[in-house]
């Protein structure tokens, strides 16, 4: 996905929040923000892929502040938020055991996103509302048809906390006789899940966990390791969680069947998808 005009203030808001998490040094914050503005002035223009610019910005912030994982405490908060809702999720899936219901739960987990929604978003209310919401784009029947014929699937994870909502869907996919690999980031970026987060969530018990080999926002094909590139190209089906992966995967040319599961948390993504902000979608690219 290319940048929309609304992306500019969102980049600046993310930069401010990341800086507040990364350092207490006010002079350093100003120095870094000057560099962020220079980066945006240089690269924010028509045709720029949004998640590639976001990746460059967050790497700049990490490098200049010396903070390798600014969102560390927020990631723990994500896990706390998600854990509170697991009983509700389990109750929901006991009543609704079909694939679409598991997809809806996984998308509901995508609400837990400090990058898109900010640090002060009411996640509790957002999760409750999302579970009740319809899928504005519903390509789950196409996904189910692919699962019936597939033997291998790659599942691109997004945020910590959210991955607890992914586990039921990963287990459900296994019921189709599909071998699942789940991919985490190779290094911290935003509140995205890394290897230790996946292990803590027990995903290594239900799937093989691999890393992208990089710290990009979503999928940036030019950044991933050669090993991960082979894994991606060998997959028969890819499920990609979240807006960052959508932003990157819409820019690649591949024969792989890709399904993006996300909540359209910003106007730019919603407009790109042809839905309203806040809508849940399960869309085949």
285 residues of the chain, pLDDT tens digit each: 999 999 999 999 999 999 999 999 999 999 999 999 999 999 999 999 999 999 999 999 999 999 999 999 989 988 888 898 899 899 999 999 999 999 999 999 988 764 454 545 555 666 777 888 899 999 999 999 999 999 999 999 999 999 999 999 999 999 999 999 999 999 999 999 999 999 999 999 999 999 999 999 999 999 999 999 999 999 999 999 999 999 999 999 999 999 999 999 999 999 999 999 999 999 999
> Is 85 found in the same domain as 59?
no
> Is 101 found in the same domain as 224?
yes
> Is 93 found in the same domain as 163?
yes
pLDDT of residue 47: 97
Contact 79, 160 (CB under 8 A): yes
Contact 241, 262 (CB under 8 A): yes
* Joined tokens for residue 165: 């909502």
Phi, psi of 15 (to 5 degrees): -60, -45
Looking at the domain assignment, is residue 2 inside a domain? no
pLDDT of residue 113: 60
> Is 187 found in the same domain as 202?
yes
CATH number at residue 195: 3.40.50.10880
> Is 213 found in the same domain as 110?
yes
Partnered with residue 258 across adjacent β-strands are 238
CATH number at residue 37: 1.10.8.380
* Joined tokens for residue 209: 């966990």
In whole angstroms, what is the distance from residue 45 CA to residue 170 CA?
38
Q: Where are the beta strands (DSSP E) in the chain?
A: 135-138, 152-156, 179-184, 208-211, 237-241, 257-263, 280-284
> Is 213 found in the same domain as 152?
yes
**Burial of 271 from C-beta contacts in 10 A (0-12 / 13-18 / 19+):** middle
> Is 119 found in the same domain as 58?
no
pLDDT of residue 244: 96
In whole angstroms, what is the distance from residue 260 CA to residue 276 CA?
16
pLDDT of residue 127: 72
Domain endpoint, select from 65, 94, 114: 65
> Is 116 found in the same domain as 249?
yes
Domain endpoint, select from 19, 49, 65: 65
> Is 109 found in the same domain as 18?
no
> Is 126 found in the same domain as 54?
no
The whole domain housing 58 covers: 7-65
* Joined tokens for residue 69: 């994982």
In whole angstroms, what is the distance from residue 285 CA to residue 266 CA?
19
**Burial of 11 from C-beta contacts in 10 A (0-12 / 13-18 / 19+):** buried
Sequential DSSP letters for 27-78: HHHHHHHHHHHHHHHHH-STT-BHHHHHHHHHHHHHHHHT-S-TTHHHHHHH
Looking at the domain assignment, is residue 1 inside a domain? no
> Is 77 found in the same domain as 48?
no
pLDDT of residue 158: 96
């Amino acid at each position: 996905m290319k940048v929309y005009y609304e992306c500019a203030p969102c980049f600046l808001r993310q930069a401010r929040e990341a800086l507040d998490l990364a350092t207490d040094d006010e002079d350093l914050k100003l120095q870094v923000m000057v560099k962020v503005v220079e980066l945006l002035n240089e690269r924010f223009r028509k045709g720029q892929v949004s998640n590639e610019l976001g990746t460059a910005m967050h790497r700049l912030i990490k490098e200049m502040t010396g903070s390798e994982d600014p969102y560390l405490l927020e990631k723990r908060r994500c896990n706390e938020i998600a854990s509170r809702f697991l009983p509700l999720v389990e109750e929901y899936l006991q009543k609704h055991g079909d694939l679409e219901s598991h997809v809806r739960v996984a998308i509901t987990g995508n609400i837990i996103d400090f990058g898109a929604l900010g640090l002060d978003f009411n996640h509790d209310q957002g999760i409750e509302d999302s579970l009740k919401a319809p899928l504005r784009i519903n390509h789950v029947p196409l996904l189910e048809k692919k699962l019936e014929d597939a033997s291998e699937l790659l599942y691109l994870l997004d945020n910590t906390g959210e991955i607890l909502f992914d586990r039921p869907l990963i287990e459900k996919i296994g019921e189709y006789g599909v071998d699942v690999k789940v991919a985490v980031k190779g290094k911290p970026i935003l509140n995205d899940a890394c290897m230790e987060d996946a292990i803590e969530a027990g995903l290594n018990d239900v799937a093989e966990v691999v890393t992208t080999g990089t710290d990009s926002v979503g999928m940036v094909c030019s950044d991933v390791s050669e090993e991960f590139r082979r894994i991606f190209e060998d997959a028969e089906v890819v499920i990609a969680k979240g807006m960052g992966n959508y932003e990157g995967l819409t820019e690649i040319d591949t024969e792989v069947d890709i399904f993006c599961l996300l909540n359209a948390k910003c106007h730019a993504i919603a407009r790109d998808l042809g839905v309203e902000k806040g809508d849940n979608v399960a869309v085949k690219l």
